[in-house]
Amino acid sequence: MADYVHLEHDGKILLVNSDGEGPAIPKLGRLKWEGEAPIIRLPTPDEVRKMGIQWETKRQNVIILGKNEKKIIMGIPKISWPKNWAWKDSVISDSAVDPIARESVYRTIHRVVSKVIIQNKEGMILMAKVKRGFFTGCWTLPGGFVDYGEHPREGAVREVLEELGIEIEISDEKGESGDIKEGEDGLIIQQNIFTSEGINWLSFTYTSNLDIPIEDITPKDDEIEEAKWFAKDDALRNAVSIFDRDAILRL
């Protein structure tokens, strides 16, 4: 049985007050209110049903904050645009909103990563063994998190330079990230939620061609243990990321 329901539609989310009445609206930047307990929260399944709202369940997330573990139904309400509901963006900045609700909203925000399949003339793929992060000690395609205000193409180019000390170019035939660069970028966009926590990942993987001896590559000391060229089949066997394996398979 879920503890709460997270209903979201076009940037709006259903919240209720401490008595289960709603919709309740957060106040941007609120730091003080009467009482100590949060006064705005996600509704329970029974409270939503009493409002006469039906929903389609997408998944169930588990949120653990301190010693509290809550199960949240993530659902799509079967209603027209709910103009009287709270804007999702306003939830995080109101301290009177239950931390469970704020954490639930936080987990719906995409974590955007950008990777690149670099190939040489022999069709071999360049991979890096990482020293830290999610895949410590494992081989991955070069890349990482996209910075705020950065296009995924730019992020991939930056990450390769930072991690391996080499400059690459990614085609951009439509000029999406600035100047038009002829060629095919091989773009693959993937999305997945890998655990019950509900963290939402969005991955952009591009292709680039570069002939460079492995000895001319300078891995970043505190991040990359080693760089190596792999034949495609070997790259598949060594890749641990689902996103990396799927992108290589689609070459």
pTM over 0.85? The answer is yes
What pLDDT does residue 123 have? 96
Q: Label residue 36 by pLDDT band (50, 70, 90).
A: confident
Q: pLDDT (tens digit, 9 = 90+) per residue, 201-216? A: 999 999 999 999 999 9
CATH number, span 4-108: 3.90.79
Given pLDDT bands bounded at 50, 70 and 90, which one contains residue 85? very high
Distance CA 206, CA 114 (A): 8
The whole-number pLDDT of residue 1 equals 73
Chain center to CA of 226: 26
Q: What residue type is 203 in one-letter code?
A: S
pLDDT of residue 154: 96
DSSP 216: G
Written as six digits, the tokens of 177 are: 């990230």
Residue 192 has pLDDT above 80, yes or no: yes
Residues 6+ apart with CB under 8 A from 146: 112, 113, 114, 152, 155, 204
Instruction: Specify the DSSP element, H or E, that contains 213.
Output: none
Q: Can you read off the two tokens belonging to residue 124?
A: 């071999």
Distance of alpha carbon 115 from alpha carbon 55, whole angstroms: 36
Average of per-residue pLDDT values in the chain:
95
| Cα–Cα nearest to 118, from 167, 155, 162, 151 | 167
Q: Is residue 84 pLDDT above 90, yes or no? A: yes
The domain ranges of the chain are: 4-108, 111-249
Which tokens sit at 55? Answer: 């929903």
* Mean per-residue pLDDT, 160-188: 93
Arithmetic mean of pLDDT, 52-60:
96
The predicted model gives 5-30 an average pLDDT of: 96
Closest by Cα among 204, 202, 201, 186 to 250: 186
pLDDT digits (tens, 9 = 90+) for 216-245: 999 999 999 999 999 999 999 999 999 999
pLDDT attached to residue 132 = 87
How many Cα atoms occupy the beta-carbon half-sphere of 174 within 13 Å? 4
Two domains, one topology: 4-108 and 111-249:
yes
Tens digit of each residue's pLDDT (9 = 90 or more) over 99-145: 999 999 999 999 999 999 999 999 999 999 999 888 899 999 999 99
Cα–Cα distance measured from residue 186 to residue 116, given in angstroms and rounded to the nearest whole number: 9
- On whether the 111-249 domain is CATH 3.90.79.10, my answer is yes
Q: How far is CA 250 from CA 8, 62, 113, 186, 234, in A?
A: 33, 33, 18, 9, 15
